[in-house]
Amino acid sequence: MILRLFWVGFLGLVTAVHFAVLCLANLPVNPISLPLRPLLKAYTRPLFIQSWTLFAPEPIDRDLYLLAQLETRDSNGRVSRTPWLNLTDVFLVRMRANYLTRLDVVKESVTSIEADLANMGPPDAKEDRMRKVGGADPLAIGERTALAYARTQPALASVTRLRLGLLQHPFPRFTRRNMPDDRTRGSSLWSYRWMSTAQIDQSNGSLSLGR
């Protein structure tokens, strides 16, 4: 009887702590949750994280994909250029294959980069203003992410330059979403300038991605 009461109390305590942590993690930032954010993120990811995008005041109205194009140089000095690599899909495929992977943190970073670049508008002459000193801007973070991924792939390890791209697929109007010809109408690709690996390595911060 005592053992049964112990286990009931223990499981009740664990359940209460679990739900208290989830509540703190999902509530807006406050004086209680702010200092605990590293611990809350470590506990809730990747299984218990919640996205409120669907219920946001401005629901998502397009798909965003972070792309990267790479230049490699072989042992004979011959330079070749890859097609656009869809980094968003790369991380999504890996995460769906293993929901316990820590790549959810990288995917969240990629999602933030996509949103920041979309909000900044087309690059054109604004790219210089988008690049902040210290490598903390979304372009620099995205370039480091792309380079870190490329260096885990034997075929891309000799990369010398890369550039980012942002592919946008606006959602068709609801009444036309079943019409195939409307699914890519209005899609756009924004491409950013080429950056050498030396320039990217000199920017602050780094990412290390597993194979």
- Domain boundary assignment for the chain: 2-44, 57-202
In the 8-state DSSP scheme, what is residue 205? Answer: -
Under 8 Å CB-to-CB from 161, ≥6 apart: which residues? Answer: 70, 71, 194, 195, 196, 197
**CB contact at 8 A, 159 and 71:** yes
pLDDT of 208 reads 46
**The pLDDT value given to residue 179:** 59
Whether residue 167 contacts residue 156, with contact meaning beta carbons closer than 8 Å, is answered with no
What confidence tens digit (pLDDT) does each residue in 25-38 have? 777 767 777 777 77
pLDDT digits (tens, 9 = 90+) for 46-80: 567 666 655 555 666 778 889 999 999 888 888 88
Q: Given a cut of 60, is residue 109 above it in pLDDT?
A: yes
pLDDT in tens, 111-170: 778 878 887 778 876 666 666 655 567 888 888 888 888 888 888 878 999 999 999 887
Provide the token pair at 55: 């219920």
Are 117 and 190 in contact by the 8 Å Cβ rule? The answer is yes
Q: pLDDT (tens digit, 9 = 90+) per residue, 176-201?
A: 656 555 555 678 888 898 999 888 88
